[in-house]
Amino acid sequence: MKLLATMGNRIPPSVRATLRDWLPPIFLRAIMHRLYAQTGRAMDLPRTSVTLVNIHAEADAVPATVSDVIFVIEVDQAEPLAGDLFRRRFNTSTFPSEPRHFVAFSKLRDGSLLTLGYVHYTMWEGGALCGGLVIDDRHYRRVGEASRKAIREAGGVAEILLRASFDLLPDDLTAIWGLVGDRQSEKVCLRVGFVRTESDLLMVVWRDGRLTEGQKAEWIKRASKLGPF
């Protein structure tokens, strides 16, 4: 136990986040309890109201359709659901608090939920700034093979998440904006309706069909000055 206590004191936050993803809560709590008994120091556990799942992949009983295995909802408090994933992916200690948050879940046969992805939108000048898109590949691998097949055939988690979140945004948006520097992400964005602009990395989905080419050019000029979002 002395060795375990020493290791516990040296576990950095990023590694703790990884352990949370891979170990069942009951096992984590047992470890934390023993460490506290040895060191007198508490280690933080994930704060979430979602039932976490076991570490084994889910076996599919019947072939699945995509609506059976993945759904997207808007939540007010996304940090307990996607905070560790977001911080790990973007190498940050913070989590966005103000934007509109959307989370993609998969529901397993035992009723437990897996967070598969996250994206947020900041409302700006009648439009929406899309950012923070991240997919949890480790959780995705726990989904059963038939379910993964259904997700792949629908374009993948990122495409499903973007399309569904677009539908949940206001109908009267001028545009949805994104900064895309990854080639694979760009492919997904093009499939869901984004188009490239002359501004480096900036992509847009035009939602107002009344805009003229001149008006679009002016919007692109304004959006390109925003910086990272």
Residue 211 resides in a domain: yes
Which domain range does residue 14 map to?
2-39
Is residue 24 pLDDT above 60, yes or no?
Answer: no
Residue-wise pLDDT for 46-64, tens only, equals: 433 343 333 345 555 555 6
C-alpha angle with apex 210: 209 to 215, nearest 5 degrees? 105
Domains contained in the chain, number:
2
Mean pLDDT (the chain, rounded) = 81
Rounded to whole angstroms, the Cα distance separating 71 from 67 reads 7
Rounded to whole angstroms, the Cα distance separating 210 from 174 reads 9
Q: What pTM value is reported for the model?
A: 0.73
On whether both 23 and 105 belong to a single domain, the answer is no
On whether both 97 and 152 belong to a single domain, the answer is yes
On whether both 190 and 111 belong to a single domain, the answer is yes
Q: Which of 23, 22, 102 is nearest to 70 (CA)?
A: 102
Residue-wise pLDDT for 66-102, tens only, equals: 888 999 999 999 999 999 999 999 999 999 988 999 9
Calculate mean pLDDT across residues 204-223.
Answer: 97
Q: What pLDDT sits at residue 117? A: 98
The CA–CA distances, whole Å, from 107 to 53, 126, 144 equal 10, 34, 11
On whether both 204 and 158 belong to a single domain, the answer is yes
